[in-house]
């Protein structure tokens, strides 16, 4: 027995050692850690339990018969983050570039199956070049099994993807199907076809970074939820995000004790938000003033910056906040901001996170480009997401709320449980100037002094239909509140709504306007 135990220790040591010292050196020269080190840096110290260490591929041709590295290029197992169980896999780019084969895929399938049955988050550390060509259709089938599981557990357990190297071809679709994607600048990149193929097919000369680097996906495509300058910061961000998420959809999000009083007045809000509806201000400052200790975590911060989507806490309890950002395009809704907010709303709803919507929106962005890029369909995604959400939903109209954008930003008419407004609010089909010009076009044109009449009619429309209490008088707003009381009102309202129950029609699923 002692001899076999010693042999096991020796075999385990050989399995854990680099398979090719030269490849290992080149890997580290790029600033990359190996797969197991990455997992150890992510998880609580000493908590990782590995599965499939001795697994090997079964391919017999195209040079595969000459090498059977233990683990087959992916490290899988479980551990804890802040004491909570998580499942994890990490591609080992030192073994066949991290390309996926049959056994590689089976190990990942097992991790997702265990995560589903255990009700725990799964985190993928991605650094692989797609399907393993030498294994043919078995590789493609392996990806198919992975994608099917990503979809099956979507909204059941949190799925986080971390891109730490090249992620190409079929390898990009698993991150795309997960809830949140992290990328490291200068290291992670994602694309369907790489620079060589692009150059050959289209003649375009582009680098990996310019084609699918972290900044591209953070600023232009919205594929990246978070971007970090290095692996260490990235793993800190992963742990931070998990602190806002439940382990599964049957649990509430984690609560964190706070010394920030629930009835604290937010007197600074009066100075942050100008009464002039054309004057910009930073909605981020409004959020910081309201939430616990001024702390919140933005998702997709540098994409579609005219809307803010963030996790925060009120009285220690997690909330999802959606707010128009007046400093960017005056806070209008457009195709990107609609899709960004829609995905965030659905994520919050899936994981039992109440929604607070801070409204200051002049409407949808007009223009040929927006119409031709399907603002109708894409704007409807946000409308659909809010209408479908069953978590507690509270709307706060900070300043202006015009047209269809007011409806879409979680108005009571589409199911918000409560709607509050500040005395600075204006809620109407459009601004007074535009409304008067349309309604009284003939009268203004025929007047002896058109400009004087126009100003008079603008004032009349403002006084009668856009004053701060117009929506409250008609029951579309539940109360007009002192901005300084916003935190207190939200916390009390969320406490009341904590036991909210919703009856959902029996159906297979709705048809989201994708």
| Residues known to be catalytic | 169-170, 404-405
Residue 131 is classified by DSSP as B
Distance separating alpha carbons of residues 326 and 360, to the nearest angstrom: 7
Burial of 499 per CB tally in 10 Å (0-12, 13-18, 19+): exposed
Distance separating alpha carbons of residues 322 and 334, to the nearest angstrom: 15
Distance separating alpha carbons of residues 282 and 286, to the nearest angstrom: 7
Ramachandran angles phi, psi of 89, nearest 5°: -135, 150
Helix 102-118 crosses helix 137-152 at what angle (to 10 degrees)?
10
Q: Which whole-number Å values give the CA distances from 34 to 87, 125, 127, in the listed order?
A: 18, 11, 10
Report the relative pairing of strands 74-81 and 49-51 from DSSP bridges: antiparallel
Residue 100's Cβ-side half-sphere holds a number of Cα atoms within 13 Å equal to: 29
Ramachandran angles phi, psi of 194, nearest 5°: -75, 175
Ramachandran angles phi, psi of 323, nearest 5°: -145, 135
Distance separating alpha carbons of residues 36 and 27, to the nearest angstrom: 14
At 185 the three-state DSSP class reads coil
Q: Which two tokens stand for residue 99?
A: 């390309």
Distance separating alpha carbons of residues 347 and 513, to the nearest angstrom: 17
Q: DSSP string covering 467-485, please? A: STTHHHHTTSSSEE--GGG
Distance separating alpha carbons of residues 99 and 61, to the nearest angstrom: 16
């Amino acid at each position: 027995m002692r001899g076999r135990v010693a042999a096991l220790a020796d075999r385990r040591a050989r399995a854990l050692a680099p398979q090719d010292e030269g490849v290992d050196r080149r890997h580290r020269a790029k600033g990359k850690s190996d797969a197991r080190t990455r997992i150890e840096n992510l998880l609580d110290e000493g908590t990782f339990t590995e599965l499939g260490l001795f697994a090997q591929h079964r391919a017999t041709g195209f040079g595969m018969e000459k090498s059977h590295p233990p683990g087959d290029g992916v490290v899988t197992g479980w551990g804890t983050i802040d004491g909570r169980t998580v499942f994890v896999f990490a591609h080992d780019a030192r073994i066949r570039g991290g390309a996926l084969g049959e056994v590689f895929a089976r190990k990942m399938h097992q991790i997702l199956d265990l995560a589903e049955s255990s009700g725990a988050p799964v985190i993928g550390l991605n650094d692989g070049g797609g399907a393993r060509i030498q294994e043919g259709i078995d590789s493609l089938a392996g990806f198919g099994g992975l994608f099917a599981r990503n979809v099956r557990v979507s909204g059941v357990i949190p799925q986080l993807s971390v891109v730490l190297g090249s992620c190409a071809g079929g390898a990009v679709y698993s991150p795309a199907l997960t809830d949140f994607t992290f990328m490291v600048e200068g290291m992670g990149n994602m694309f369907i076809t790489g620079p060589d193929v692009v150059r050959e097919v289209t003649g375009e000369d582009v680098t990996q970074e310019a084609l699918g680097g972290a900044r591209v996906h953070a600023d232009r495509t919205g594929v990246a939820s978070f971007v970090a300058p290095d692996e260490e910061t990235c793993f800190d961000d992963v742990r931070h995000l998990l602190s806002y998420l439940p382990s599964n959809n049957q649990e509430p999000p984690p609560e964190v004790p706070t010394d920030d009083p629930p009835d604290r007045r937010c007197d600074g809000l009066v100075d942050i938000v100008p009464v002039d509806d054309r004057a910009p201000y930073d909605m981020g400052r409004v959020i910081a003033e309201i939430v616990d200790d001024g702390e919140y975590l933005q998702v997709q911060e540098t994409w579609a910056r005219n809307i803010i989507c963030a996790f925060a806490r009120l009285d220690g309890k997690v909330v999802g906040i959606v707010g128009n950002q007046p400093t960017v395009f005056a806070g209008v809704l457009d195709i990107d901001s609609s899709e960004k907010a829609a995905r965030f709303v659905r994520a919050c709803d899936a994981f039992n996170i109440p929604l607070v919507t801070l409204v200051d929106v002049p409407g949808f962005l007009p223009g040929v480009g927006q119409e031709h890029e399907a603002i109708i369909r894409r704007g409807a995604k946000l409308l659909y997401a809010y209408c479908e959400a069953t978590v507690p939903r509270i709307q706060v109209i900070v300043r202006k709320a015009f047209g269809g954008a007011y409806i879409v930003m979680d108005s009571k008419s589409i199911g918000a449980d409560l709607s509050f407004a500040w005395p600075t609010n204006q809620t109407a089909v459009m601004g007074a100037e535009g409304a008067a010009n349309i309604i009284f076009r003939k009268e203004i044109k025929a007047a002896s002094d058109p400009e004087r009449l126009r100003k008079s009619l603008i004032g009349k429309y403002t006084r009668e239909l856009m004053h701060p209490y117009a929506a409250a008088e008609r029951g579309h707003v539940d109360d007009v509140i002192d901005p300084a009381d916003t935190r207190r009102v939200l916390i009390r309202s969320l406490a009341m709504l904590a036991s909210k129950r919703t009856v959902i029609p029996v159906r297979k699923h709705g048809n989201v306007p994708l």
